[in-house]
Chain A
Protein backbone atom coordinates (compact mmCIF):
# COMPACT_ATOMS: atom_id res chain seq x y z
CA UNK A 1 0.00 0.00 0.00
CA UNK A 2 1.24 3.46 -0.81
CA UNK A 3 1.46 5.94 1.99
CA UNK A 4 3.51 7.91 4.45
CA UNK A 5 5.22 6.31 7.42
CA UNK A 6 6.21 8.37 10.41
CA UNK A 7 8.22 6.88 13.20
CA UNK A 8 8.22 6.59 16.08
CA UNK A 9 4.61 7.22 17.10
CA UNK A 10 5.63 8.44 20.56
CA UNK A 11 8.96 9.94 21.48
CA UNK A 12 10.28 11.13 24.82
CA UNK A 13 13.43 13.19 25.14
CA UNK A 14 15.20 15.14 27.81
CA UNK A 15 15.43 18.88 27.53
CA UNK A 16 18.53 19.98 25.63
CA UNK A 17 18.75 16.90 23.43
CA UNK A 18 18.33 16.95 19.68
CA UNK A 19 15.87 14.43 18.28
CA UNK A 20 15.13 13.32 14.71
CA UNK A 21 11.67 12.36 13.49
CA UNK A 22 11.44 10.07 10.51
CA UNK A 23 9.13 10.49 7.51
CA UNK A 24 9.16 8.10 4.55
CA UNK A 25 6.78 7.99 1.58
CA UNK A 26 6.36 5.50 -1.24
CA UNK A 27 3.89 7.56 -3.26
CA UNK A 28 6.52 8.97 -5.60
CA UNK A 29 5.44 12.45 -4.53
CA UNK A 30 7.79 15.31 -5.27
CA UNK A 31 6.83 17.59 -2.39
CA UNK A 32 7.02 16.87 1.32
CA UNK A 33 6.05 18.96 4.32
CA UNK A 34 6.40 19.06 8.09
CA UNK A 35 3.69 20.57 10.24
CA UNK A 36 3.34 21.02 13.95
CA UNK A 37 -0.11 20.61 15.51
CA UNK A 38 -0.94 22.26 18.82
CA UNK A 39 -4.41 22.43 20.42
CA UNK A 40 -6.34 25.48 19.24
CA UNK A 41 -3.67 26.51 16.75
CA UNK A 42 -4.30 24.18 13.85
CA UNK A 43 -1.36 23.01 11.80
CA UNK A 44 1.63 25.29 11.33
CA UNK A 45 4.21 24.72 8.62
CA UNK A 46 7.76 24.08 9.78
CA UNK A 47 9.65 23.19 6.59
CA UNK A 48 8.81 21.98 3.11
CA UNK A 49 10.66 20.53 0.17
CA UNK A 50 9.56 20.49 -3.45
CA UNK A 51 12.48 18.52 -4.85
CA UNK A 52 15.42 16.47 -3.65
CA UNK A 53 18.29 18.46 -2.12
CA UNK A 54 16.14 21.56 -1.75
CA UNK A 55 13.92 22.78 1.09
CA UNK A 56 12.45 26.02 2.39
CA UNK A 57 11.52 27.37 5.78
CA UNK A 58 7.89 27.53 6.73
CA UNK A 59 6.25 29.80 9.26
CA UNK A 60 7.88 28.34 12.40
CA UNK A 61 11.27 26.99 11.28
CA UNK A 62 13.32 28.29 14.21
CA UNK A 63 14.80 25.46 16.24
CA UNK A 64 14.22 22.86 13.53
CA UNK A 65 16.29 21.45 10.67
CA UNK A 66 15.57 19.11 7.77
CA UNK A 67 17.28 17.29 4.94
CA UNK A 68 16.05 15.88 1.62
CA UNK A 69 18.72 13.57 0.31
CA UNK A 70 16.24 11.12 -1.18
CA UNK A 71 12.84 11.65 -2.74
CA UNK A 72 11.27 9.20 -0.32
CA UNK A 73 12.63 10.64 2.91
CA UNK A 74 12.29 13.97 4.71
CA UNK A 75 13.55 13.71 8.32
CA UNK A 76 12.97 16.52 10.80
CA UNK A 77 15.42 17.31 13.59
CA UNK A 78 14.10 19.14 16.62
CA UNK A 79 17.10 20.89 18.11
CA UNK A 80 17.75 22.14 21.61
CA UNK A 81 17.14 25.65 20.28
CA UNK A 82 13.42 24.94 19.91
CA UNK A 83 11.87 26.60 22.96
CA UNK A 84 8.70 24.58 23.17
CA UNK A 85 9.23 21.29 21.34
CA UNK A 86 6.52 19.21 22.97
CA UNK A 87 3.89 18.81 20.24
CA UNK A 88 2.33 16.53 17.66
CA UNK A 89 4.32 16.51 14.40
CA UNK A 90 2.74 15.64 11.07
CA UNK A 91 4.48 14.87 7.82
CA UNK A 92 2.71 15.16 4.49
CA UNK A 93 3.43 14.76 0.82
CA UNK A 94 1.81 15.89 -2.38
CA UNK A 95 2.17 15.47 -6.08
CA UNK A 96 3.09 18.80 -7.67
CA UNK A 97 0.24 20.64 -9.28
CA UNK A 98 -2.46 18.33 -8.01
CA UNK A 99 -3.23 19.82 -4.67
CA UNK A 100 -4.21 18.15 -1.47
CA UNK A 101 -1.95 16.19 0.77
CA UNK A 102 -1.45 12.67 2.04
CA UNK A 103 -0.66 12.77 5.74
CA UNK A 104 1.30 10.45 7.95
CA UNK A 105 -0.05 9.28 11.29
CA UNK A 106 2.14 11.68 13.23
CA UNK A 107 4.74 11.59 15.98
CA UNK A 108 3.93 12.86 19.44
CA UNK A 109 7.09 14.32 20.95
CA UNK A 110 7.30 14.98 24.67
CA UNK A 111 10.31 16.75 26.09
CA UNK A 112 10.78 16.39 29.82
Chain B
Protein backbone atom coordinates (compact mmCIF):
# COMPACT_ATOMS: atom_id res chain seq x y z
CA UNK B 1 0.00 0.00 0.00
CA UNK B 2 1.12 3.52 -0.71
CA UNK B 3 1.47 5.92 2.15
CA UNK B 4 3.08 9.20 3.11
CA UNK B 5 4.30 10.06 6.56
CA UNK B 6 5.21 13.49 7.91
CA UNK B 7 6.92 13.13 11.26
CA UNK B 8 6.76 16.71 12.46
CA UNK B 9 3.20 17.70 13.22
CA UNK B 10 3.87 21.13 14.67
CA UNK B 11 7.06 23.12 14.22
CA UNK B 12 7.80 26.48 15.80
CA UNK B 13 10.74 28.55 14.55
CA UNK B 14 12.02 32.07 14.90
CA UNK B 15 12.46 34.21 11.81
CA UNK B 16 15.72 33.55 9.95
CA UNK B 17 15.98 30.02 11.30
CA UNK B 18 16.51 27.18 8.85
CA UNK B 19 13.67 24.81 8.12
CA UNK B 20 13.56 21.13 7.31
CA UNK B 21 10.28 19.24 7.25
CA UNK B 22 10.45 15.48 6.99
CA UNK B 23 8.48 13.39 4.49
CA UNK B 24 8.83 9.66 4.00
CA UNK B 25 6.82 7.57 1.63
CA UNK B 26 6.05 3.95 1.02
CA UNK B 27 5.77 2.90 -2.61
CA UNK B 28 7.60 0.32 -4.67
CA UNK B 29 7.44 1.92 -8.10
CA UNK B 30 8.36 5.15 -9.81
CA UNK B 31 7.27 8.08 -7.70
CA UNK B 32 5.97 11.54 -8.34
CA UNK B 33 6.25 13.65 -5.19
CA UNK B 34 4.80 17.00 -4.25
CA UNK B 35 4.82 19.58 -1.50
CA UNK B 36 1.74 21.75 -1.02
CA UNK B 37 1.25 24.70 1.28
CA UNK B 38 -1.93 26.05 2.83
CA UNK B 39 -1.61 29.58 4.17
CA UNK B 40 -4.24 30.62 6.71
CA UNK B 41 -7.55 31.14 4.94
CA UNK B 42 -6.15 30.37 1.49
CA UNK B 43 -6.23 27.60 -1.10
CA UNK B 44 -3.77 24.75 -1.10
CA UNK B 45 -0.93 25.77 -3.43
CA UNK B 46 1.78 23.74 -5.08
CA UNK B 47 5.23 24.55 -3.68
CA UNK B 48 7.26 22.14 -5.78
CA UNK B 49 7.17 18.75 -7.42
CA UNK B 50 9.53 15.96 -8.37
CA UNK B 51 8.94 13.71 -11.36
CA UNK B 52 12.40 12.64 -12.47
CA UNK B 53 15.91 13.95 -13.07
CA UNK B 54 17.77 16.16 -10.62
CA UNK B 55 16.77 15.00 -7.13
CA UNK B 56 17.15 18.52 -5.76
CA UNK B 57 14.01 20.39 -6.70
CA UNK B 58 13.54 24.11 -6.30
CA UNK B 59 10.14 25.61 -5.79
CA UNK B 60 8.50 28.93 -5.12
CA UNK B 61 9.36 31.32 -2.29
CA UNK B 62 12.85 29.90 -1.74
CA UNK B 63 11.77 26.38 -0.86
CA UNK B 64 13.56 23.29 -2.08
CA UNK B 65 13.25 19.56 -1.55
CA UNK B 66 15.58 16.65 -2.03
CA UNK B 67 14.47 13.26 -3.25
CA UNK B 68 16.57 10.51 -1.67
CA UNK B 69 15.44 7.24 -3.18
CA UNK B 70 17.44 5.04 -0.82
CA UNK B 71 15.75 6.65 2.17
CA UNK B 72 12.28 6.95 0.59
CA UNK B 73 12.36 10.57 1.61
CA UNK B 74 11.44 13.94 0.14
CA UNK B 75 12.26 16.51 2.80
CA UNK B 76 11.37 20.16 2.39
CA UNK B 77 13.96 22.82 3.22
CA UNK B 78 14.33 26.56 3.40
CA UNK B 79 17.53 28.26 4.60
CA UNK B 80 15.85 31.19 6.33
CA UNK B 81 12.16 31.30 7.18
CA UNK B 82 10.00 34.39 7.37
CA UNK B 83 6.91 35.12 9.41
CA UNK B 84 4.90 34.85 6.17
CA UNK B 85 5.89 31.17 5.90
CA UNK B 86 3.50 30.38 8.73
CA UNK B 87 1.21 27.77 7.18
CA UNK B 88 0.39 24.10 6.97
CA UNK B 89 2.58 22.01 4.70
CA UNK B 90 1.58 18.76 3.04
CA UNK B 91 3.73 16.18 1.33
CA UNK B 92 1.99 14.07 -1.31
CA UNK B 93 2.68 11.07 -3.52
CA UNK B 94 1.07 10.39 -6.86
CA UNK B 95 -0.78 7.10 -6.82
CA UNK B 96 -0.25 4.19 -9.16
CA UNK B 97 -2.25 3.23 -12.23
CA UNK B 98 -2.12 6.68 -13.76
CA UNK B 99 -5.29 7.70 -11.95
CA UNK B 100 -3.72 10.96 -10.88
CA UNK B 101 -4.73 10.30 -7.28
CA UNK B 102 -2.60 12.04 -4.70
CA UNK B 103 -1.93 10.47 -1.33
CA UNK B 104 -1.24 13.09 1.31
CA UNK B 105 0.70 13.03 4.52
CA UNK B 106 -0.84 14.22 7.78
CA UNK B 107 0.48 17.73 7.36
CA UNK B 108 2.91 19.86 9.37
CA UNK B 109 1.87 23.13 10.90
CA UNK B 110 4.71 25.65 10.81
CA UNK B 111 4.56 28.65 13.09
CA UNK B 112 7.23 31.31 12.56
CA UNK B 113 7.66 33.80 15.37
CA UNK B 114 8.68 37.33 14.41
Contacts and interface: CB of A to CB of B under 8 A. Distances in A.
Contact of B106 (A41, A50, A58, A104): A41
A45 interface: yes
Interface string A68-111: 00000000000000000000001010101101110111100000
Given A43-B90, A50-B99, A50-B100, A99 B32 contact: yes
Interface string B77-114: 00000000000001000100011111111110000000
Contacts of B99: 31, 48, 50, 56
A45 B99 CA distance: 12
Interface residues of A, number: 25
Interface string A5-38: 0000000000000000000000000010101000
Interface string B60-78: 0000000000000000000
B107 A45 contact: no
B69 to A, nearest CB: 18
Contacts of A105: 42-43
Contacts of B100: 31, 33, 48, 50, 94, 96, 99
A45 B95 CA distance: 11
B7 interface: no
A36 B45 CA distance: 16
A7 to B, nearest CB: 14
Given A40-B9, A42-B90, A43-B90, A101 B106 contact: no
Contacts of A100: 34, 46, 49
A44 B49 CA distance: 20
A99 B106 contact: no
Given A48-B99, A99-B94, A43 B104 contact: yes
26 contacts: A31-B100, A33-B100, A40-B107, A41-B106, A42-B4, A42-B6, A42-B90, A42-B105, A43-B90, A43-B107, A45-B103, A48-B99, A48-B101, A50-B99, A56-B99, A58-B101, A94-B100, A99-B32, A99-B49, A99-B94, A99-B100, A100-B46, A101-B46, A103-B43, A105-B42, A105-B43
